[in-house]
Structure 1
Amino acid sequence: MVREHLTGQRDMADSYPRSFVRRGKCLEMRFLAECSLSDLAALQSLVVSTLHEIEIFMPHDEEYFSLIFQTELSVLGVLAEEKLAAYSIIRYPGMEKDNLGRDLNLAEEDLKKLAHLQAIAVHPHFRGCGLQRELAAAHLQVLESSGYEHICCTVSPKNPVSLNNLLSCGFRVRALNPKFAGWWRYILYKNVNWPMTGTGMAATGDETAITCLNIECQRELIQRGYEGYRVEWKGEKSEIFYRKRSTSSMDSSSPFIP
């Protein structure tokens, strides 16, 4: 599913640009074209240079960005005074080997219905403004209107802030595997039919809290049918809360097998 699949989504594109205010600054969210490639690359370089842990963010080269731009509505940007403050990328992996549905035992037919929320980057000056959540929610609407049922993304266990933001958009941790260069990544999954809820959900009686860096205990819980669904901070340490996967009709329709 590439460009031709999305050409019918003009209503979605026509609803942008969208203006909003954060910290007294007027911002504009809009879909970006390939002419913005150098701006994406520059912001990516800045973000990587400020990381306290290099493995938190996997950078891409300009050839990769150019390929992404070939699919309509795949790149969303937030601009402040016409300067790029943040961007979001979605990708349609199809039957490629890196389709994250393979990490979750998704049936082959469903791999074709899966999209990646591939990357979100926010300028250091605009962190804490909720731009990651805004961009994720906007791109999830694009995917829903485009007919994709399954959405996956990855987050480093060393990046609890991004994990919390994505869980708040309704994603759930369904796997924890070594990925890029052996770096550990949560594999987050969301079905487009699920509500946009996550960290705001009430605690349940059957939940287990584990520090985000305790890899083996989390993997054991996931194998036992648990899913990660919210994050809390205790001082400087972050904990992710796991619960037994729901047996509701909505969740049981998911093809994933723990």
Structure 2
Amino acid sequence: MAPVKPVIHRSTIENSPLLSCYNRETKKSSLCRLAILETEALEEVMALHQSVISELENPDLYIPYTREEMAGYLNQEHGFLLGMYDETGLGAFRVIAWPGEGKDNLGHCLGIAQSQLGQVIQLEGTNVHPRYRGNGLQCLLTEKAMGCLQPFEREGILLTAVSPLNGRSLVNMVALGMHIAGLKNQNNKPVRLVLRKSLFQESQQWQKGPWVEAGDIESHQKMLTMGLKGHEAKMDAEKGLQVRYGRPLLSHEGAIMR
């Protein structure tokens, strides 16, 4: 299959209606606009990024970007940034990457064939200013960003890596239709859960299986070795963050195609 050659359709973003987001500072809703960020936005991107990193209670939840990495996304060499602005400045951004066949491609963790690595589109970090947290911007910005790439949706493989301790991100990504398909083992860094979704896949039905604790890496490995995928996530008042594993059910159409 030919590699995905992403084209960012700016009109999809430029013609988007303004967003109404609750502003924690003003205690009122603010009208915000979306924008594909350019190189000149580097300073405000790094300022928001450093602010978010400095406030993390658990630094293991998030791997910071270097200035060079951010510049590479802003000039759209390795991806792009979708930003959200209010009247005072940058309120949030989402990083979308196309890693090619390089070592950063999460497809290596899943055993994706070399010929398909070029189809991978990766969801990287989301940074949200404290005044806009609680508006569901991680999901919203992801959906808007994918809308920019719609012409390639039948070719793309969407991947992301999430810390098993980052409950909010894990629940959000599963809600977007992604499922845990593998693990990313990192030297001197905590293991990440690798989630996958084929962009042409509208929805997936699952044969429900056992629940495991999100932080129990051995249980994740056991489920994945059995051929199960993590397709549901929830916060339990007593047990904490839980992930349900199961097998995908083929639709009648999919069964015929196989």
Tell me by how many angstroms 1:125 deviates.
2.2
- Residue 50 (structure 1) aligns with: 55
Aligned to 2:26: none
Residue 27 of structure 1 aligns to a residue whose secondary structure is strand
Which residue, out of 107, 111, 119, partners 2:113? 107
Contact 1:32–1:75 (CA<8 Å) still a contact in 2?
A: yes
**1:89 paired to 2:95:** yes
Equivalent residue, structure 1, for 2:171: 164
Partner of 2:243: 240
- 2:233 counterpart SS class: strand
Cα distance in 2 between the residues matched to 1:5 and 1:234: 39
**Equivalence for 1:64:** 69
CA distance in 1, matches of 2:207, 2:13: 43
CA distance in 2, matches of 1:245, 1:87: 32
Partner letter of residue 150 of structure 1? Answer: I
Q: Deviations over 1:59-112 (max 9, x none)?
A: 111111111122287110111214111101111111101211111111111111
Show CA shifts across 1:163-208 (max 9, x none): 111111111110123236432111111111112x58xx8xx66321
Instruction: Give the aligned partner of residue 19 of structure 1.
Output: 18
Q: Give distance in 2, aligned partners of 1:46 and 1:252.
A: 52
1:49 is displaced (CA, Å) by: 1.2
Percent of matched pairs sharing the same residue: 24
Q: Distance in 1 between matches of 2:59 and 2:218?
A: 22
Deviation at 1:5, TM superposition (A): 4.8
Letter in 1 for 2:36: F
Q: CA RMSD in A?
A: 2.6
1:151 correspondence with 2:151: no
Which amino acid letter does the alignment assign opposite residue 234 of structure 2? E
Q: Residue 34 of structure 1 aligns with which residue?
A: 39
Alignment-derived partner of residue 215 in structure 1? 217
CA, structure 1 residues 244+189, in 2 after alignment: closer, same or farther (shift >3 Å)? same
In the alignment, residue 15 of structure 2 is paired with which amino acid?
A: S
Give the whole-Å Cα distance in 2 for the aligned partners of 1:224 and 1:88: 34
List runs of 5+ in structure 2 lacking aligned partners. 23-28
**Deviation larger for 145-154 or 243-252:** 243-252
Structure having the higher strand fraction is 2
Q: How many residues align?
A: 246
**Distance (Å, rounded) in 1 between the aligned partners of 2:185 and 2:75:** 29
Q: Contact 2:208–2:246 (CA<8 Å) still a contact in 1?
A: yes
Unmatched 5+ stretches in structure 1: none
Partners in 2 of 1:181 and 1:89 — Cα distance? 24
* Separation (CA, whole Å) in 2 of partners of 1:142 and 1:227: 28
Distance 1:206 1:5 in 2: 35
